[in-house]
A = this chain, B = another copy of it.
Amino acid sequence: MGGVYTEASMSLDGYIAGPGETGFDRLFQWYGNGDVATATAKPEMTFRTSQASAGHLRHTLDDTGALVVGRRLFDLVGGWDGRHPMDKPVVVVTHHVPDGWPRPGAPFTFVTEGVEAAVGRARELAGGRWVAVNGGSIARQCLAAGLLDEIRVNLVPVLLGDGVPFFDHVRDAPVELSDPTVVAGDRVTHLYYRVRRP
- Is the pair B161, A171 in contact by a Cβ cutoff of 8 Å? yes
What 0/1 pattern do residues 159 to 195 of A give for CB contact below 8 A with B?
Answer: 1111001110111111111111010111111010100
- Is the pair B158, A175 in contact by a Cβ cutoff of 8 Å? yes
> Measured between alpha carbons, how far is A188 from B176 in the docked complex, in Å?
12
- Which residues from B are CB-within-8-Å of A161? 167, 169-175
Evaluate whether A160 and B184 lie within 8 angstroms (CB atoms) in the complex, with A12-B167, A153-B12, A189-B179 already known. no
Q: Is A14 an interface residue (CB 8 A)?
A: yes
> Measured between alpha carbons, how far is A178 from B170 in the docked complex, in Å?
29
- Which residues from B are CB-within-8-Å of A176? 26, 157-158
- Is the pair A157, B189 in contact by a Cβ cutoff of 8 Å? no
Q: Is A23 an interface residue (CB 8 A)?
A: yes
Q: Is A116 an interface residue (CB 8 A)?
A: no
Evaluate whether A157 and B14 lie within 8 angstroms (CB atoms) in the complex, with A23-B174, A162-B169, A174-B23 already known. no
Closest chain B residue to A167, Cβ basis? B13
Evaluate whether A174 and B14 lie within 8 angstroms (CB atoms) in the complex, with A182-B189, A191-B189 already known. no
What 0/1 pattern do residues 2 to 24 of A give for CB contact below 8 A with B?
Answer: 00000000011110001100010
Evaluate whether A177 and B189 lie within 8 angstroms (CB atoms) in the complex, with A13-B14, A182-B184 already known. no
> Measured between alpha carbons, how far is A165 from B163 in the docked complex, in Å?
14
What 0/1 pattern do residues 131 to 175 of A give for CB contact below 8 A with B?
Answer: 000000000000000000001010001111110011101111111
Pairs across A and B, CB under 8 Å, 28 listed: A11-B174, A12-B151, A12-B177, A13-B166, A13-B170, A14-B14, A14-B167, A18-B174, A26-B174, A26-B176, A157-B178, A157-B180, A157-B193, A158-B175, A158-B177, A159-B167, A159-B174, A159-B177, A160-B170, A160-B173, A161-B172, A161-B173, A162-B169, A162-B173, A179-B185, A179-B187, A179-B188, A182-B189
